[in-house]
Amino acid sequence: MLLIPAIDLKDGHCVRLKQGDMDQATTFGEDPAAMARSWLAKGARRLHLVDLNGAFAGKPQNFAAVRAILRAVGDDIPVQLGGGIRDLDTIEKYIDGGLRYVIIGTAAVKNPGFLQDACTAFGGHIIVGLDARDGKVATDGWSKLTGHEVVDLACKFEDWGVESVIYTDIGRDGMLTGINIEATVKLAKALHIPVIASGGLSSMADIENLCAVQGEGIEGVICGRAIYSGDLDFGGAQARADELNG
């Protein structure tokens, strides 16, 4: 079970939101590169970046901060990024800059042809981010709820060649209310590609519950507010996951 620290970028700073609300942002650091190095020192094996401004603007807004993070971690661990990725040129720019995985969310739902083109051009580098409430996919920074079922879309995207799926329960994100294990397992069982859980991680119990179902195809979990607030010790949690899953 891979525990993946999240670094959410807003105006060049590291923040956390509650349920995707930009007006409910808590700043946890002024230096994203230093934050990345700190998680690397604590044993992180992958980093998850979100360009929050980009997600709302529809184009990258924190490229300087992303570039600083990539320079800080070098080739030590893979880095994945989502937020504002709407065209192939942006993907190429990020991958050429050292990013391992690009996360396509809203654009995958609203412009599926773009996702197909991205998988063809950048095979092995494309992750789909599916954000949902009560099984329905949300887009545009979670501001719009669609009629699409998560499982149906994920199965279609798998056929197109995406590397993995990040599933976020937006009703729980940033609320420390626990991972939606049932919904995450349901999705993982429907796919052959890995699923990364997201939204609501709050305690060691969540880690243990995820480890218990890792065999269903759950590769990792995005760690956000809990590791910044101190509710969950990142190093201890990764060590516990390693112990449980060998």
Report yes or no: 32 and 13 within 8 Å, Cβ to Cβ. yes
Q: Is 233 a catalytic residue?
A: no
Give the DSSP per-residue string, 132-167: EETTEEEETTTTEEEEEEHHHHHHHHHHHT-SEEEE
Identify the active-site residue in 11, 76, 131, 206. 131
Respond yes or no: is residue 8 known to be catalytic. Answer: yes
Q: Are 44 and 77 in contact (CB under 8 A)?
A: yes
**What is the gyration radius of the CA atoms in the chain, in angstroms?**
16
Collapsing DSSP states into helix, strand and coil, what is residue 106?
Answer: helix
Report whether 36 contacts 6 (CB < 8 A). Answer: no
Residue in 8, 169, 173, 206 annotated catalytic: 8
- Catalytic (active-site) positions: 8, 131
